[in-house]
Amino acid sequence: MPYKLKKMTNADRMAVMKIFNHFVENSFAAYNDTRVSDGIFDHFLNISKGYLALTVRTETDQVVGFAMMRPFHPANSFRKTLEVGYFIMPEHTGQGLGSQILERFIKKAKALGVEILLASISSLNEKSIRFHLKHGFVECGRFKGIGIKKGQKFDMVWMQKNL
């Protein structure tokens, strides 16, 4: 199935929230443990402003995923470091979409003079950890047992890719 990546806009609010809440309720990819209101969508757009916020669309324009690149920290000492995150519906993974998104993020990051990409991942999201390792990220930090979701404790794993 052909896919396209498009800039995320306010028109994508409902689709993005449906996807995000799917991950809230069914996985460890989103840290929240209860559904979130669509107000978080405004936060997504705000934190990624000037960087990249993308939707993944099918050939019929159905939104089946989204991704954001944003500053790691508000202090300008960290201006050369960005954080990335992706949420692609499970039935659309394994088709190279994450790799395409990451390629776009790297291209944009380099154009901005960014030197480091970070990803924060639940230790229970093994698929995401494998994806990042495959794409040249290395584990650079681990906060042990700081998260609890669905009654399970998990580590917050930080992964880093130097550009």
69 burial type by CB count under 10 A (0-12 exposed, 13-18 middle, 19+ buried): buried
Look up the pTM and report it.
0.94
pLDDT for residue 51: 95
Q: Give per-residue pLDDT as tens, 51-105.
A: 999 999 999 999 999 999 999 999 999 999 999 999 999 999 999 999 999 999 9
Label residue 38 by pLDDT band (50, 70, 90): confident
**pLDDT tens, position by position, 80-93:** 999 999 999 999 99
**Predicted local distance difference test score (pLDDT) of residue 23:** 96
**From residue 88, how far is each of 15, 17, 80, 109, 147 by CA, in Å?**
12, 12, 26, 21, 22
pLDDT at 89: 97
User: What CATH number is attached to the domain comprising 33?
Assistant: 3.40.630.30
Q: Which domain holds residue 32?
A: 3-162
- The whole-number pLDDT of residue 73 equals 95
Average pLDDT, the chain: 96
Q: 47 phi and psi, to 5 degrees?
A: -70, -20
Domain count along the chain: 1
